[in-house]
Amino acid sequence: MNAQATLVLPSKGTTGLLIDGHWIDPKDGGTLEVQNPSNRSTVAVIGRSTAADVDRAVSSAQEAFRTWRQRPARERGAFLTRLGDAIAENAEDIARLLAAETGNAIRTQSRGEVASTVEVLRYYGGTASEQKGETLPLGQGLFSYSTRDPLGVVAAIIPWNSPLVLGAVKIGMALATGNTLILKPAEDAPLAVIRVCELAAEILPPGVLNVVTGRGSDAGAALSKHPDVAKVSFTGSSEVGRGVLHAVADRIGHATLELGGKSPAVVFPDSNNEETAKNVVAAMRFARQGQSCTAGSRLFVHADIWDDFMPKVIAAVEDLVIGDALDEATDMGAVINTTRYEEISDFVQQAADQGAQFLTGGPSTKLEGDTPLRLTPTVIAGVDNNWRIAREEVFGPVLVAIPWQTEEEVVTWANDTHYGLAAYVFTQDLNTALRMAENIDAGWVQINRAGGQLPGMSYGGRKQSGIGAEYSIEGALESYTQRKSVTIAL
């Protein structure tokens, strides 16, 4: 049986537009095809929203905000918990849909992402009531206190690489704090998000969560510019993020940006073992085809262990099974679309032309016909930190490995980037670990760990990797509410 034939597609949400609790067609009747990158077939055709549809979604969210903000926080949290439970009940169907549209392997990636989505919504459901203000001791005869007020209508623009969990983070933060939300899924991978929003439409009051599908240049740009959108939360490339921030700044709105990364992974001599090598491969997000902003794509290995450690990394990389994302045997699936395939290939070819050494993998073959969008994981040596492939975000399964001699040297190299999202350090010495965590300029540092974000972690970037933090209740309060100070003369 064709694995794709067993997919449970959205039943109502392929219209692409959820407004005031109803799934409706875009005004101009436009559509988008969603493809399976593992076999280049069409999974579904969905509606394509434009600025006129965005206007309708904003009006719906504005109306719902009047009553949603007045609900006790514990009630808003209960809605989120119910949504998390509903996703858990449909987890396998959603995971298969996610694997088909993203190319992320069902066993190693998509099931885990659905589980994380449930965790995130349950976390914000449970912490929604922890929105405390403060009292200020201004002196006798004065009572002064502060509250946390929601911003209003929030627009959330999410990418295709981890669409479900990133959508859940924005849903959880916005709704828990009393805002209403317009969610724009990525045009390449909207289906699992739409399926979750179908469940949400059965649980949440109408208008609290609205959905507009479409291209970033249409629906995304319209949301960013809309005068009645109080805040935009964007996750995606730094290039697009600059445009979003410019549009929001022009109308003095609020913005959270989680952008790109070129994250360092630093291995000290005392971590020359197979477990660290596997962690390096995991930190690089090879199992997600390297399509992660937190990918540890610059590997710095101490020169004393280089000759012994790098073969361990190569063995771990070459153990990965590349195949169809819906095949249970697959470790690593396909990149999202032909544009990404070609851009990644160009990076690797340029490095080859410059004389790079390929420890495994290498330049890819030219796409022909309906060839699956699978790339061989590649590890490159013989470069330094100034090469383009070591400085720019490839967003593909390409790891650059560089030997180092002194801690001062490797910290300088780790920080020599305009990004500052994530970093990974592998050492058995606690003093070294704490010193590196302090000195590396990144918003999210992992020591002897290569896993992803967990609910409660404060996750956000520095420099051109973004503005603001997500994944924690503190991040939600900082980014999705504003303080109101009240002083009473007694």
> From CA 124, how far away is CA 275, in angstroms rounded?
33
Please state whether beta strands 180-184 and 142-150 pair in parallel, antiparallel, or not at all (unpaired).
unpaired
* Closest to 195 in 3D by CA, of 310, 267, 99, 126: 99
Query: Which of 113, 258, 470, 478 does the annotation list as catalytic?
Result: 258
Q: What is the pLDDT of residue 2?
A: 46
- Name the E strands within 321-476: 357-360, 378-381, 398-404, 422-426, 444-447, 466-467
Is residue 258 flagged as an active site residue? yes
Q: What is the pLDDT of residue 368?
A: 85
Q: What is the pLDDT of residue 131?
A: 87
* Closest to 75 in 3D by CA, of 186, 219, 175, 217: 175
- Rounded to whole angstroms, what are the CA distances from 341 to 225, 349, 406, 465? 31, 12, 36, 23
pTM: 0.96
Q: What is the pLDDT of residue 5?
A: 56
User: Cα Rg for the chain, rounded, in angstroms?
Assistant: 23
Segments of the chain scoring below 70 in pLDDT: 1-5
Give the type of residue at 55.
Answer: D
Cβ neighbours, 10 Å, residue 303: 12
Q: What is the pLDDT of residue 133?
A: 85
Q: What is the pLDDT of residue 249?
A: 96
